[in-house]
Amino acid sequence: MRAYLELLRLPTVFTAIADVLMGTAVAYASTPQKLPLEEWLRTGTVWPLVLLVAASCCLYLAGMVLNDYFDRKQDAAERPRRPIPSGRVSAGAAAWLGGELLLAGVALALAAAWLLGGWRPAQISLAIAAFVIGYDALLKKTIVGPLAMGACRGLNVLLGMSAMAVAWQTPHFLIAGGLGLFVAGITAVGRTEARQSHRGWLFIGLALMWLGMALVATFPYTTGLTHQLEDTLKVWPWIWIVLGLQTGWRLMHALVDPTPGHVQAAVRYGILSLVVFDAIITFAVVGMVPALCVLALLIPTLLLSRWLYVT
């Protein structure tokens, strides 16, 4: 069981859940006339959200499993203790599990689309599945690999935004694109995390992470989104400046000494930061209580990461 949990990278799946919940919060805040949040949650509308969260988990976990399946020969040389090269999980079982999770994710999104009366969730899930296979099987070792991984994350945010029938506008794309670029940066940083990393990729990764954060920071100043907390705008730029400096500081250790330990620590920090970013965005659009619910996803992430590796 531990071998399969390692294969799934279980601690990080909660970042995908945070994306969907945040995306739904942004979509909810975008509706011109809406029910109070508590009343909305008591309606049948909450069930498509449950299905979208489950779909996101399946698609994310499929990506983790298929990543190890396609990297099994490289892992045999660099990380022989991982589930497939160590023989604890067979390559065939990993391929079967990854494929089944992909199908389950698309099927769950299709069910959510049926309940919502629109095809957008199903279309997004198919796009995520395509990018998952494309990244793991073909693009990971190419120069566009980080952008393909970032596209998966951005689409996952849009999957959450599809929980409500609202027209996407500039803020929606800034949030999804910004988080996608941030993940592209994390991917660039961790490109060769199992051995001495090239500082060029670390600089590229940091630049992409900062660019993604900058895009997210601009969304309250665009039109098309109803903001619930106007006071947030007074401190909003400073929040992201501090987070940007913190991100740079974390990566500084890897830039000075690009050994696997420092690089993997930077990647881990970047992954965990996603939950914090999602919580901050949620706070800006719908308030404190939903934001704390998103932030609470850090608890299982941190607890499980003490037992199972993240990168």
DSSP 43-87: STTHHHHHHHHHHHHHHHHHHHHHHHHHTHHHHHHH-TTSTTTTT
> What are the helix (H) ranges across the chain?
2-8, 13-29, 37-42, 46-70, 72-78, 91-116, 120-134, 145-161, 170-189, 199-218, 232-256, 260-286, 288-295, 298-305
Q: What is the pLDDT of residue 35?
A: 60
Q: What is the pLDDT of residue 293?
A: 94
**Rg of the Cα trace of the chain?**
19
Cα distance between residue 256 and residue 21, in whole Å: 36
pLDDT of residue 98: 96
Contact call for residues 112 and 24 (beta carbons, < 8 A):
no
Collapsing DSSP to helix, strand or coil, 130 comes out as helix
Q: What is the pLDDT of residue 121?
A: 95
Interval 21-53: pLDDT, tens: 999 999 888 876 656 666 666 555 688 899 999
Tokens of 42: 């008591």
Q: Which residues of the chain have pLDDT under 70?
A: 32-45, 193-196, 223-231
Domain ranges in the chain? 2-305
pLDDT, position 59? 98
Q: Within its chain, how far is the Cα of 34 from the centroid?
A: 27
Give the pTM: 0.92
